[in-house]
């Protein structure tokens, strides 16, 4: 399953790569690490001070000495508290800063991934890569790796102090430790499996719940309530069984850790008692027993949390490898800053020769040898049935999809430029494709029109002018102007208004070539004529390739390109094609009415 992390070396590699994100925040990391010896030192020192008091100060009745020892003890307590707080904070800080950077890196990368990638990956999984997987990392960074390191140092320091004080007694009192180790290993491996099952069962149950509630009307209308409840019970039962078993192991593990230190102390006292009384070599002092009692009570505490922390790290490594998988996807190329515009002065002339294209390598060709020209300023209407390749043509021209065969050249003044040789962003500053389903961000009108375009985003006058061009200014200014919130997915707007906003984007950018996919869905009659008028205006003064669904648009076109099964079947003006009485004439009779193109990934 997804929880497997592959080999250990892979895990190490993943961590090494992680270092590149961690490095900018290493100051905090170093500060945190520096505190480790202080924490371990103070924790080891305290029992030694206790021993001093019991062995020296109290038997001697030295009140002053005792006071000094107690003050040292309190000093060690304060120092440890400060060191520990600084350490925990510094480690968490470096962790959160890194995670924030990593999340930004993942997001920025995904945003630049090509359309083909999005066809293959559902948004849900991309979202969980960018959120929950990175959250899993956050937990590890803050509490996992480095606290384990601290724990190990503290344990080693404690053991070191114990061995230094009395090696034999240490070995005796820790005699049960190997048994403990075996038990803990066994329990925690069982627990890990169970916890995995718990998470799976929980996921299945809540997934089922969410789906049934989303489709609650089907459940109700088709009388599926009882069946749904019994399935929910079954899934819940699976979860219940897993959690109850996990509970037993968990309780045993917890209790065992509790009992074990008392058992070790008992061992120590039992075997230490005779040596306490024999004078000479190997004699023990009472204070040493005090110190050992203290050490033994604390040395097991971190071990209890070890297995939990290890599980977290394993989960994080799995999450990390999924995140890397995403970061390793090749992103679209970008023009380097300051590079000259290769399309400067281009007037919109396009030459398409024998264009062939398929979405999936080895899949069916959706464009099968298309040739046509667009003269500067010409309006070309593209018509055809669903699946004839209309939308694909637009996608190739904007390099939304790469890997076409044949040639698509733009007649720039400096000579013809092949589309595949242009960086996508450079190309799209001149060729703008407007899809029929308008996407609006839950932000204000200004953002939705400007979309961060330089020189536009901070120029209200230009934005207003663009809105005026498409007759959207009326309703926008009536509802708060440029700062009007359009709502989630534009829900404060009607579908016609949303289209006008999308047209305002075009008007504000004045692309050299516009590829317009007209909406098939009927809009409300209030905005219908406005949409129509706006389209008329957008067609003025530039080259346009319009995937037409409206009669008026087709009539207005200088030439009509009729596609069928990825080929150009007819080409000419409306009157010529009508006179011909072919495919176009038939489509015209039927009213061009059809679906939007199916998603590119849909099997043919």
Partner 1 sequence: MKIVFRFLLRYARQNVPSYALGLVMLFITNYAVVRIPTLIGDALTALQTTGPAAVAAGQDLALELAIWAVIVVFARTLSRVLFFNPGRLVEFRVGVDLFRHLLSLQRPFYMRRKVGELVSVATNDTSAARLLVGFAGLQVCNVAVALPLHVRQMWATDPVLTIWCMVPVAIGGIYMRHTVRQFYGMVRDSQEYLARLSDRILESYAGIGTTRAHVGEAAVIERFDERNVAYLDLQLRIAKVRSFAMPVLAFTGYVGAGLVLWVGGDRIMQGHMEIGELATFTTLLMSLVALLMSLAWVLAAVSRGVVSLGRIDAVMRTGDELPPADAPLEIAAPPTLELRDLSFTYAGDDKPALSAISATVAPGRTLGIFGRTGAGKTTLINLLARVYTPPPGSVQLNGHDVVAIPLADLRRRMAVVPQDPFLFSTTLRDNIRLRGEYRGHSPDDDRSGAYAKLTQEDDPQLAQVLEEACLREDIRNLPKGLDTVVGERGVMLSGGQRQRAALARALYRRPALLLLDDVLSAVDQGTEARLVAAIRGLTEHAVGGAQAPTTVIVSHRTSVLEHADEILVLEGGRVTERGTHQQLIARGGAYAETHKHQGVEGG
CB nearer partner 1, residue 244 or residue 353: 244
Q: Which is nearer to partner 1, 11 or 151 (CB)?
A: 151
In sequence order, what are the residues at sequence separation of 6 or more whose Cβ sits closer than 8 angstroms to the Cβ of residue 4? 318
Residue 30 or 85 having the CB closest to partner 1 = 85
Q: Report the residue number, 386 or 576, with the smaller CB distance to partner 1.
A: 386
Asked if residue 200 lies in contact with residue 227, where contact means CB atoms within 8 angstroms, the answer is no
Q: At what angle do helices 460-469 and 495-509 cross, to 10 degrees?
A: 120
Confirm or reject binding of residue 239 to partner 1 (CB under 8 A). yes
Q: How far apart are CA 409 and CA 396, in angstroms?
A: 12
Which tokens is 406 given? 């044949």
Q: Give 80 or 471: the residue with its C-beta nearer to partner 1.
A: 80
Q: For residue 413, what is the DSSP state?
A: T
Q: Of the listed pieces 221-229, 408-416, 464-472, 536-544, which binds partner 1 according to CB under 8 A?
A: 221-229
Task: Establish how many alpha carbons lie within 13 A of residue 201's alpha carbon, considering only the half-sphere containing its beta carbon.
Answer: 21
Quick one: which of 398, 464, 469, 553 contacts partner 1 (CB under 8 A)? 398
Among the residue ranges 256-264, 314-322, 341-349, 476-484, the one whose residues contact partner 1 (CB under 8 A): 256-264
- Whose Cβ is closer to partner 1: residue 11's or residue 194's? 194
581: exposed, middle or buried (Cβ count in 10 Å: 0-12, 13-18, 19+)? exposed
β-pair partners for 405: 356
By CB under 8 A, what part of segment 548-577 binds partner 1?
549-551
Distance CA 546, CA 105 (A): 37
CB of 381 to partner 1, least distance (A): 14
Under DSSP, is residue 424 helix (H, G, I), strand (E, B) or coil?
helix
Stretch that binds partner 1, among 159-167, 249-257, 311-319, 413-421 (CB under 8 A): 249-257
User: Considering beta carbons, is residue 23 or 489 the nearer one to partner 1?
Assistant: 489
Q: Is the CB of 23 or the CB of 104 nearer to partner 1?
A: 104
Q: Is 256 in the site for partner 1 (CB under 8 A)?
A: yes
State the pairing for strand pair 365-374/513-517. Answer: unpaired
166-173 contact pairs (CB < 8 A, 24+)? 166/284, 166/288, 166/292, 168/282, 169/268, 169/271, 169/272, 169/275, 169/284, 169/288, 169/292, 170/292, 172/267, 172/268, 172/271, 172/272, 173/264, 173/265, 173/267, 173/268, 173/271, 173/272, 173/292, 173/296
Task: Single out the residue of 204, 375, 465, 585 in contact with partner 1 (rule: CB under 8 A).
Answer: 204
Q: Minimum Å distance from CB 52 to partner 1?
A: 10
Q: Are 366 and 392 in contact (CB under 8 A)?
A: yes
Q: Which of residues 146-185 bind partner 1 (CB under 8 A)?
A: none
CA distance 554 to 574: 7
Q: At its nearest, how many Å lie between partner 1 and the CB of residue 11?
A: 25
Position 586 contacts partner 1 (CB under 8 A): no
Residue 398 tokens read as 């904007």
295: phi then psi, degrees, rounded to nearest 5: -60, -45
Residues 39-98 binding partner 1 (CB under 8 A) are 46, 49-50, 53-54, 57-58, 61, 63, 66-67, 69-71, 73-74, 77, 80-81, 84-89, 92-93, 96-97
C-alpha separations of 530 from 206, 467, 470, 555 in Å: 46, 12, 8, 18
Q: Which is nearer to partner 1, 112 or 356 (CB)?
A: 112
Q: Which of residues 417-446 bind partner 1 (CB under 8 A)?
A: 424-425, 428-429, 432-435, 438-443
Answer for which of 41, 153, 193, 232 binds partner 1 (CB under 8 A) is 232
Q: In whole angstroms, give the CA distance from residue 265 to residue 530.
A: 87
- And the tokens for 550? 């409206």
Question: Residue 517: enclosing H or E segment and its boundaries?
Answer: strand 513-517
Tell me the site size for partner 1, rule CB under 8 A.
163
Q: Hey, which residues between 490 and 509 contact partner 1 (CB under 8 A)?
A: 505, 509
- Looking at 233, 403, 418, 458, which residue binds partner 1 (CB under 8 A)? 233
The stretch among 187-195, 212-220, 475-483, 536-544 that binds partner 1 (CB under 8 A) is 212-220
Residue 517 pairs in a beta bridge with 547
Contacts of 467 (CB under 8 A, 6+ apart): 445, 449, 473, 476, 504, 507
Rg (CA), the chain: 36
Shorter beta-carbon distance to partner 1: residue 9 or 525: 525
Asked if 472 is part of the footprint of partner 1 (rule: CB under 8 A), the reply reads no
Instruction: Supply 311's token pair.
Output: 């599980």
Q: Which is nearer to partner 1, 182 or 521 (CB)?
A: 521
Q: Which stretch binds partner 1 (CB under 8 A): 131-139, 156-164, 315-323, 362-370?
A: 131-139
Instruction: Indicate the residue among 375 and 423 with the shorter CB distance to partner 1.
Output: 423
Task: Give the footprint of partner 1 on residues 364-393 (CB under 8 A).
Answer: 386
Q: Is 337 in the site for partner 1 (CB under 8 A)?
A: no
For residue 346, the minimal CB distance to partner 1 (Å) is 16
Residues 271-300 that bind partner 1 (CB under 8 A): 273-274, 276-277, 286, 289-290, 293-294, 297
Q: Which is nearer to partner 1, 315 or 509 (CB)?
A: 509
């Amino acid at each position: 399953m997804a929880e497997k992390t592959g080999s250990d070396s892979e895990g190490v590699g993943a961590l090494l790569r992680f270092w590149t994100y961690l490095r900018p925040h290493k100051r905090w990391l170093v500060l945190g690490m520096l505190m480790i010896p202080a924490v371990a030192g103070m924790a080891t020192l305290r029992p030694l001070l206790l021993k001093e008091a019991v062995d020296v100060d109290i038997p001697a009745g030295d009140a002053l000495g005792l006071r000094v020892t107690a003050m040292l003890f309190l000093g060690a307590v304060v120092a440890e508290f400060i060191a520990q707080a600084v350490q925990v904070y510094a480690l968490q800080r470096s962790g959160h800063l890194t995670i924030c950077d990593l999340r930004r890196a993942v997001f920025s990368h995904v945003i630049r991934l090509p359309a083909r990638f999005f066809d293959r990956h559902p948004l849900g999984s991309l979202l969980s890569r960018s959120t929950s997987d990175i959250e899993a990392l956050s937990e590890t960074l803050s509490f996992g790796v480095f606290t384990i390191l601290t724990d190990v140092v503290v344990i080693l320091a404690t053991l070191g102090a114990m061995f230094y004080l009395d090696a034999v007694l240490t070995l005796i009192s820790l005699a049960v430790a190997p048994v403990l180790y075996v038990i803990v290993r066994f329990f925690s491996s069982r627990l890990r499996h169970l916890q995995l099952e718990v998470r799976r069962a929980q996921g299945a149950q809540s997934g089922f719940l969410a789906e049934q509630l989303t489709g609650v009307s089907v459940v109700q209308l088709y009388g599926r309530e009882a069946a749904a409840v019994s399935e929910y019970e079954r899934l819940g039962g699976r979860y219940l069984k897993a959690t109850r078993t996990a509970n037993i192991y968990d309780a045993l593990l917890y209790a065992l850790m509790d009992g074990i230190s008392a058992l070790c102390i008992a061992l120590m006292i039992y075997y230490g008692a005779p040596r306490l009384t024999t004078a000479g070599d190997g004699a023990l002092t009472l204070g040493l027993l005090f110190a050992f009692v203290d050490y033994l009570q604390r040395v097991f505490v971190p071990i209890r949390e070890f297995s939990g922390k290890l599980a977290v790290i394993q989960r994080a490594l799995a999450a990390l490898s999924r995140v890397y998988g995403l970061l390793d996807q090749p992103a679209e190329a970008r023009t380097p800053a300051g590079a000259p515009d290769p399309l400067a002065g281009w007037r919109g002339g396009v030459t398409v020769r024998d264009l062939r294209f398929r979405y999936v390598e080895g899949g069916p060709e959706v464009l099968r040898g298309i040739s046509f020209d667009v003269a500067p300023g010409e309006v070309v209407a593209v018509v055809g049935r669903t699946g004839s390749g209309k939308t694909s043509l637009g996608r190739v021209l904007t390099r939304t999809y790469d890997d076409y065969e044949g040639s698509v050249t733009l007649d720039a003044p400096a000579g013809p430029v092949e589309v595949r040789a242009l960086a996508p962003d450079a190309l799209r500053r001149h060729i703008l494709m407007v899809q029929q389903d308008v996407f609006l961000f839950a932000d204000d009108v200004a953002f939705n029109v400007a979309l961060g375009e330089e020189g536009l985003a901070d120029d209200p006058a230009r934005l207003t002018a663009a809105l005026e061009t498409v007759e959207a200014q009326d309703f926008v200014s009536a509802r708060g102007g440029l700062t009007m919130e359009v709502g989630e997915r534009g829900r404060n707007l009607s579908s016609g208004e949303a289209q006008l906003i999308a047209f305002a984007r075009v008007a504000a950018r004045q692309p050299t070539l516009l590829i317009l996919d007209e909406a098939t869905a009927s809009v409300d009659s209030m905005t219908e004529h406005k949409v129509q008028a706006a389209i008329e205006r957008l067609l003025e003064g530039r080259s346009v390739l319009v995937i037409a669904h409206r009669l008026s648009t087709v009539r207005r076109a200088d030439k009509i390109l009729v596609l069928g099964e990825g080929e150009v079947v007819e080409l000419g003006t409306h009157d010529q094609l009508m006179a011909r009485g072919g495919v176009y004439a038939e489509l015209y009779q039927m009213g061009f009415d059809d679906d939007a193109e199916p998603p590119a990934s849909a099997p043919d």
